[in-house]
Structures are given as structure tokens and as C-alpha cells.
Amino acid sequence: MKKKITKTLVIAMLLMMIATGAGRELFASQEGARFNLNAVMIPMRDGIRLNTHIFVPAGFDGKKESLPIILERTPYQAPATARNWSEGKYKSLAADGYIFVIQDIRGRYKSEGRFVMQRAPESLRRDKPDPQVVDEVTDAWDTIEWLTSNIPGNNGRVGIIGISYPGWTAAMATLKPHPALKAASPQASPADMFIGDDFHHNGAFRLSYGFEYATMMETSKESYRFTFDRYDTFDWYLALGSLNNVNRHYLHGKIPTWNDFVEHPNYDAFWQTQAMAGYLQQVNIPMLNVAGWWDQEDFYGPLKIYEALEKHDTRRINYLVAGPWNHGGWARGEGSSLGRIAFDSPTARHYREQIEAPWFAFWLKDRGRPGITEAITFRTGANEWRSDDQWPPVASSRKRQLYLHANGRISFDPPTESGSAFDSYISDPANPVPYRARPIEPTYSPRGSGWSTWLVEDQRFANRRPDVLSWQTEPLTEEVTIQGEAIAHLFASTSGTDSDWIVKLIDVYPEEYDKDPKMGGFQLMVANDVMRGRFRRGFIKPEPMVPNRPTAIDIDLHHLNHRFGRGHRIMVQVQSTWFPVIDRNPQRFVPNIFKAVESDFIRTTQRIHRSKSAPSHIEVSVAIR
């Protein structure tokens, strides 16, 4: 549906642009580039207006040339200056020449309307357009229609881009794209908030992030930080007790997303209609999906979007880039390291200059080449970029199994023990394993937080706890490179009726590490995830576990491209708590953990079985050349 814009409306909006021209920006970069800013309120089909900041290169009048538009739609406030983004994440794009547009999405900051977290694309399920049925698909369409009709000198082509939530809005715009939308780069976009992104992993609730993000986004139209009365939030969340205390003592039913968590503890229609994969039935426009191997918020999403689109990519315009970054790390700084892990080159700058900018120039300006094969990934450990015609690179890999053995050993040899061979530990919800070394600051603490780099923290803080099991190889005599998917296949039992199972795949550095002696013995987590036992057979209908019965638990550890060097060890850690990034499982089956009471929480005996008949192992894809 092409939205009709009346002559009167066009004149009115142009007058508004002229009126707001007083907001022109006096910005000069080191190269002397300048942008003029026009702030406008763009009307949507239901009459709601969205605050939109249009940045036009100074001196550009559209007479000698026309420029494409780069659009970002964000809940995090449209900037009033180009200073940060044009000298930061979009510096290489700005140097190429674009009109940049950044918009507050519906209900956020200066935009009108009601904000709905991850609003489901209801318009796609309607046979006929309804001007009162709005979502991020329709808002993107209406925005692009207005921009291409009203910005002088645009060339009729629009590229949409964004990281995290703006990445999700970019992906949503592609589901039914405006004809002028010619390229999209959803970066770190969530794809499924119950299976693998911000709010849940395999049905296990991401407590600290879910609580702090929901309050940040829904306390007011502007970002808000919940005030903790303890520096170490581990203590605060543990003292909180059962999750039913959140509304009782703090939120009082005023945060819609928290209420949704409580009322939708399983993978019901609420979560399913939000999930991206079900809508990805065709590749409508060129897509550049971007992921970070150590993205602490949305690693599942970009891989899932790429994977879903690959089934329909007959034109080979679905691309993937995965590098050694945390959430959005490719868009800032040099990217030469993350935490204590060095990459020997400026990986983030390489992405922005050599991949992203040429890709958009090709699709929006007909210039050069895309600058990318279908999949470009950074191989950590080897610290090198790799190019493949597809991801995962199945032709150069073979499936192998890393089996758990007695005495804390793992190897590619299957177990030979019969009977009930196992290792065990006590899991106590009153004394959970922290997900990172304490103290655990608030996620977005103004005083700084370890949240952004926790996935590259040294795992030795957990290795010797009595409620964490560890197995490792002997020092490797040859390099082992895992490229592609890793899946944990546990045979586990609990004395309770529910349990969480966390698996971490770790690169253990040699004790004497000549390249950087301070990294001796470092335990680098390269893949991980959690499975909530009640969802082992499916996420729609939870089932209790049978006490003390060995049960198959499969955990998708997602993708990696990592070389374990000579002298390194491959380690696997298993535990049942990961607090407070994951809420405490009571370990007694209850219909809804958000409504559990204190008496539901029990200590349990956990067993990981490793016999010939119950061979717990990690399935990996090992590079063969």
C-alpha cells in the first residue's frame, strides 16, 4: 500500500522543516565535514507523529548530485548533533556521502503514541490494510514514504541500519519493505525473546537484564535507571527472594513488560507472534547481518535471522559478518581487544571501513563491489578473518564429539564404562553460582559495570566451586579449530523435579604463555548457554523432570569460530545456577516460577552421567582444512 500524502500536508511539513531550520547544527569534523539538522514530526497512517532528525551534508542542495538516505529508528533518543555518530559508528559512511535520518520510535522521547516493547507485526497478519493497525513495519514504511517524497536531492534509495533494538526495527522494516528500501543491516537484532535473546535463553529467564531493561524503558518515555541500595546486585537479587516479590515490593504492576513476563512463563502466542523467524519467508532486499562472538545481549538473533533467510536466498543477497566483539563492539573504537583478550588488529575499524561502507555504497550508490563474500567471520585464537561461501562452512568441517570421562577428563574417544558412571554436585538456590566475578554492578551503572565484558572474563572464579563440574583435555599437541555450531548433549539427573543446566565451552591457556605471561592459565569461555529442564521436550508445555532419572538434555551452545592452539586445553564446565543473569530455578516443579513461593526452593543432588549407555558429550564442527 502506497501511503497518500496530500499537497497541504507536504506544504505544512516543509514549512515545519523551514521553521526548525534554526536548529541547524554548527558541527565540523577534523575533515571539515558539516551537517545541517532539520527536526520534523512525520505523520504515520493513524495520525501519530514521530520525531525525526534529518542530517544533510552542509552545502548539499541536490542540484549537482543526489544522495541516498541512511535511516535508523531507535528507542534510545534521536541525537541533536552529528558529532558522535559521524565521527564514530557512521564515520566511514559519512565520508561516502549520505543523508542521515534518525527517528524516535513510537512512544519514545519526543515521538507521540504508546511504546510497546517488541511490538508484534500485527499488520502482516491482516488481509487488508487497516490505518489503525500499526507496528514497526508500517511505521518504517510511512517514514520512508515521507522521506523520499520530501527531502530534496535524495536519489530514491534508502538503507536502514541499527544495532540491538534499532537492529530489530531495521529487520522489521524488511518484512514488507517500502519500494525505496534497497538495503538493510540489522545488527545484533533480537529474533526470539523466549528462545535466545535478551529476556530468556531456552525458557530460562534473564533476571538482572530483564528487570533492569524493562524498568529503564517503561518507567517513563526517557531512559531510567532503577536505584539499587547495594553496590553488589548479586546480594540485592538474592535478598529479593521469589520473583513474586518484584511487583509486591517494587514495581506494583506498573511496568507492562514485567507483567508480561509474569503472565507468559511459557512459549505461548504472546512470544511466538513477536518472534522474527516465522515471518522470514523470503529475502526481500539485500541483508547484512552482524553479530559479535561475545555479544552479552543478542548473539542468538543475528545468526537466527541469517539462518532463516538462507532457506529462501536464491539471489545470494543474504550476508553474515561475525567478529570478536561484545554487543555493538564493531561500531566503536578500534576493536583490537576485548577485556584482556587481544586480537592483533583493529577488527572494528576494519569492519566499518572495509565491509560496511563498501556494502552500502554498492547497493545504494552502484559503486564498487559489496566488499564481502556471503560470510565473513573472525577466527578467534588464530586472530584472522575468514571468508566463506556459506555459514557454517560445512564443506570444510566434520562433526566430532567431545565426551566427558572420569577424573575430570574429556576427549574425542567415546566412554567405555558401563553401569552408572557419573559426576555429581549439590545445587543450592540459596547459594547460587555468580555468572561473573563479584561484585556485580548494575547492568548500566553510571559508575561503570563489568556487564559488557563478562563473557570474556576468566572462568577460574567458578572452576573450583563444589557446585561446578569441570572436565578438560590434556594439553593439545595439535591445533583444534571449531567452526560452526556446538551442541551439548547431556545425560543429567536431579533429585528434584526441575533444574537448570548450564554448559560452558572454555579455552584454557597454557600456564606459561609467552605471548602474554599474565594470561597464563586463563580460562576463556568461547561458547555457552542454559537449558531450563522443564522445557527439555518443548517450550510450549513444560514438564517436570522425574527425580533421579537420567534424562537427555540438549543445549544449543550456538556458533563459534575459534582455534584452540597447541599447548591449550579444551574445558567443559557444567553447573545449575548462573545468578543473577538467570533467575533461580526452585528445583521443585511449579506451574509458574514467577509466582513461586519461598518454600518451593530446594537443594538438590545433580548428576552428569558419562557411561557407555549415557554418554554426555559436546558435538562440535571441527575444521578439516
Task: Give the pLDDT of residue 14.
Answer: 42
Beta-carbon contacts of 58 under 8 Å, excluding residues fewer than 6 positions away, are 33, 34, 35, 36
For residue range 263-315, what is the model confidence (pLDDT) as tens digits? 999 999 999 999 998 999 999 999 999 999 999 999 999 999 999 999 999 99
DSSP per position, 508-530 = EPPSS-TT-GGGTT-EEEEEEEE
Q: Which of 253, 272, 291 is the last residue of a domain?
A: 272
Task: Give the pLDDT of residue 28.
Answer: 34
Cell numbers at 360, concatenated: 552500502
- Do 311 and 400 fall into the same domain? no
Task: Give the pLDDT of residue 536.
Answer: 98
- Do 536 and 480 fall into the same domain? yes
- Do 419 and 356 fall into the same domain? no
Task: Give the pLDDT of residue 358.
Answer: 96
Q: Beta-carbon neighbour count of residue 6 at 10 Å? A: 8
- Do 382 and 403 fall into the same domain? no
Which residues of the chain carry a pLDDT beneath 70? 1-33
Task: Give the pLDDT of residue 126.
Answer: 87
- Do 434 and 526 fall into the same domain? yes
Q: Which of 243, 272, 301 is the last residue of a domain?
A: 272
What is the C-alpha to C-alpha distance for residues 518 and 459, in angstroms, rounded to an integer?
15
Whether 609 and 421 have beta carbons less than 8 Å apart is answered as: yes
- Do 79 and 95 fall into the same domain? yes
Task: Give the pLDDT of residue 122.
Answer: 95
What is the C-alpha to C-alpha distance for residues 352 and 359, in angstroms, rounded to an integer?
10
Q: Which of 365, 390, 415 is the last residue of a domain?
A: 390
Task: Give the pLDDT of residue 27.
Answer: 34
Residue 55, domain member (yes or no): yes
Distance (Å) of CA 403 to CA 414, 416, 524, 566, 608:
6, 11, 20, 20, 12
Distance (Å) of CA 387 to CA 304, 314, 344:
19, 20, 18
Task: Give the pLDDT of residue 370.
Answer: 82
- Do 360 and 410 fall into the same domain? no
Task: Give the pLDDT of residue 129.
Answer: 81
Single-letter amino acid, residue 175? L
- Do 499 and 360 fall into the same domain? no
- Do 359 and 402 fall into the same domain? no
Burial (CB < 10 A; 0-12, 13-18, 19+), residue 247, is middle
Domain count, the chain: 4
CATH number for the domain that contains residue 206: 1.10.3020.10
- Do 414 and 557 fall into the same domain? yes
CATH number for the domain that contains residue 129: 3.40.50.1820
For residue range 54-98, what is the model confidence (pLDDT) as tens digits? 999 999 988 889 999 999 999 999 999 999 999 999 999 999 999
Residue 194, domain member (yes or no): no
Range of the domain at 60: 1-187
Cell numbers at 488, concatenated: 551439548
Write down the pTM of the prediction: 0.94
Strands 318-323 and 287-292: parallel
- Do 106 and 224 fall into the same domain? no
Residue 42, domain member (yes or no): yes
CATH number for the domain that contains residue 502: 2.60.120.260
Residue 195, domain member (yes or no): no
Strands 200-201 and 99-104: unpaired
Residue 530, domain member (yes or no): yes
Residue 309, domain member (yes or no): yes
Task: Give the pLDDT of residue 257.
Answer: 98
Q: Beta-carbon neighbour count of residue 78 at 10 Å? A: 24
Residue 286, domain member (yes or no): yes
Residue 543, domain member (yes or no): yes
What is the C-alpha to C-alpha distance for residues 528 and 488, in angstroms, rounded to an integer?
9
- Do 248 and 320 fall into the same domain? no
DSSP per position, 337-361 = EETTEE-SS-HHHHIIIIIIHHHHH
Instruction: Enumerate the H helices of 547-605 as residue ranges.
Output: none
